[in-house]
Structure 1
Amino acid sequence: MTAAKPALVVHDLSKRYELGPAVEDVNFSVPVGGTAALVGPAGSGKTTILRILLGLLEPSSGSAEIGLSPVSGMLTPRGLHPARAARDHLLVYAAAAGVPDARVGAVLESVGLDSAARVKTGALTVGQQTRLALATALLTDPRVLILDEPTEGLDAAERGWLHDFLRRHTRRGGTALLSSASLAAVVAMADQLIVLSEGAVVYQGTPAKLRRNHPDRLVVAASTPVALATMLAARGYTDAVIRPDGRLAVAEASEAEIIDAAKASGVRLDNITPDPIHPDRVLASLTKSSRTAAPIFGAPGAHAPHPQPTSYGIPR
Structure 2
Amino acid sequence: MSRARPLAFAVTGLSKSFGVETPVRDVSFVVPAGTVAVLVGPPGAGKTTVLRMLLGLLTPTSGTANIGGPGSGVQRGRQAVGSMLTPRGLHPARTARDQLRVFAAAAGVSDDRVDELLTLVRLDAVADQRILGFTPGMQTRLALAVALLGEPPLLVLDDPTLGLDGAETAWLYDYLRTHTRRGGTVLLTTRTLSAALPVADELIVLDHGAIAYQGSPARLRRSHPDRLLVKSSSQIAFATALAAQGFTDAVMRPDGRLAVAEASVAQLEAAAAAAQVQLTEVTAEHIHPDQVLATLTRGPATPAYAAPSYSAPAAYGMSR
Common fold, TM-score beyond 0.5? yes
TM-score normalised by L of structure 1: 0.89
Residues 95-134 of structure 1 mapped to structure 2, 5 A cutoff: 95-134=105-144
Question: What residue in structure 1 maps to residue 318 of structure 2?
Answer: 314
**Residues of 1 paired with 2:185 and 2:312: CA distance?**
31
Superposition deviation, residue 93 in structure 1 = 1.8
Cα distance per residue 1:59-82 (max 9 Å; x no partner): 011100001241121011112333
Q: Is the 8 A contact 1:40 1:181 kept in 2?
A: yes
Give 5+ residue unaligned stretches, structure 1: 293-304
CA positional deviation for 1:225:
2.0
Q: Deviations over 1:78-135 (max 9, x none)?
A: 1233343221221122223332222101211222322332233233333322111100
1:124-203 alignment runs, 5 A limit: 124-203=134-213
Range 74-83 or range 55-64, more displaced: 74-83
Contact kept in structure 2, 1:159 and 1:185, CA below 8 Å: no
Looking at structure 2, the residues matched to 238 and 149 of structure 1 have their Cα atoms a distance apart, in angstroms, of 40
SS for the counterpart of 2:237 is helix
Match of 1:236 among 233, 240, 246: 246
Q: How many residues align?
A: 302
- Whether 2:286 is the aligned partner of 1:276: answer yes
**Paired letter, 2:96:** A
Whole-angstrom CA distance in 1 between matches of 2:195 and 2:296: 16
> How far, CA to CA, are the matches of 2:319 and 2:201 in structure 1?
12
For residue 271 of structure 1, report the CA deviation from its aligned partner.
1.8
The one-letter amino acid paired with 1:219 is L
Provide the identity percentage. 57
Match of 1:301 in 2: none
> 1:4 offset after TM fit, Å?
4.6
Matched position secondary structure for 1:267:
coil
Distance 1:2 1:168, change over 3 A: closer
Letter of the 1:38 partner, please give it.
L
| Alpha-carbon separation, structure 2, partners of 1:73 and 1:315 | 26
Amino acid at match of 2:38: A
More RCO (CA 8 Å, sep 6+): 2
Query: Which is worse superposed, 13-22 or 124-133?
Result: 124-133
Contact kept? 2:197, 2:319, Cα under 8 Å: no
Secondary structure of 1:24's aligned partner: strand
Structure 2 length normalisation: TM-score?
0.88
Q: Distance in 2 between matches of 1:122 and 1:257?
A: 59
| Contact preservation (8 Å) 2:11, 2:28 | yes
Alignment of 1:80-95 (within 5 A): 80-95=90-105
Gaps of 5+ in 2: 69-73, 303-310
Partner of 1:224: 234
Greater displacement, 79-88 / 40-49: 79-88
